[in-house]
Amino acid sequence: MNEYFPSITSNDNPMIIDVADVRQAAESYRELEENVYMTSGKSFDLEKKLRHLEQSAKNRFGGATDSELSDLEDVVALTAHRVQSTESEVSDLENKLAALSASGKKKISGSQNRKRFNQDFPTSKAQSIL
């Protein structure tokens, strides 16, 4: 059973608000908030891994061969790319959250608008380290 409540719009014409739409918007908002927090955590973890790799390069690979340094640079570049992608996803989710907050009842389909992390399969020895 749907409940409806009258609402006054800016031009004083009554508009009917479906409570189910409001509930659905609230649920979409909650899901987007959750995604922002989860993705932010992933971004933090990747940044931490990047800092660790950079520190390892400074400490352990001072006398490494050019080939070893090249492999390590590949790993660092891949990790930096993942951090950038994750930060971009966080930004997209924050924009969606802001839009949903502004509209109050905008319907967002979770399956169509959610980005999924692609499973990265290592293609080189350097990528398999991650």
User: Is 2 a domain residue?
Assistant: no
Q: What's the pTM value of the predicted model, to 2 decimals?
A: 0.38
Which residue, 31, 30, 28, 32, is CA-closest to 93?
A: 32
Q: Identify the sign of the CA torsion 84, 86, 92, 95.
A: negative
pLDDT value, residue 83: 92
Q: Identify the sign of the CA torsion 96, 101, 105, 110.
A: positive
User: Is 37 a domain residue?
Assistant: yes
User: Is 25 a domain residue?
Assistant: yes
Three-state DSSP class for residue 102: helix
Counting the structural domains of the chain, the total is 1
User: Is 115 a domain residue?
Assistant: no
User: Is 1 a domain residue?
Assistant: no
User: Is 96 a domain residue?
Assistant: yes
Half-sphere exposure of 99 (CA within 13 A, CB side): 11
pLDDT value, residue 106: 45
pLDDT value, residue 59: 78
pLDDT value, residue 84: 92
Identify the domain containing residue 77 by its residue range.
16-107
pLDDT in tens, the chain (130 residues): 555 555 555 556 666 778 888 888 889 889 999 988 888 888 888 899 989 888 887 777 666 678 888 888 899 999 999 999 999 999 999 898 888 888 875 454 444 444 544 445 455 555 555 5
